[in-house]
Chains A and B, each alone.
Chain A
Amino acid sequence: MTRGPVTVTPDDTLAHALRLTREHRIRHLPVVDGGGRLVGILSDRDIRLAMPSPLTTHDAERVDFLGRTPIAAVMIREVVTASGHDPVEDAAKLLYRHRIGSLPVVDAAGRLEGILTETDLLHAFVQVLGGTQPSSRLEVALPDRPGELARVVGILAAHNVNIVGVLVSPVRVRDEKTVIVHVGTIDPRVAVEALEAAGFVVGWPSLEEDVRALLGR
Chain B
Amino acid sequence: MPVNLTSDQQILWQHGFVKLNGTIVTTWVTMIVMSLSAKLITRKLKTEGDISRWQGSLEIIVTAMEEQIKEVGLSEPAKYLSFLGTLFLFVATASLGTVIPGYKPPTGSLSTTAALALCVFVAVPLFGIREQGFVAYLKTYTKPTFIMLPFNIISELSRTLALAVRLFGNMMSGVMIIGILLTITPFIFPIFMTVLGLLTGMVQAYIFSILATVYIAAATRIPKLKAAVVQAKRDTKSLKAQH
The answer to whether A binds B is no
Binding site for A on B (CB under 8 A): none
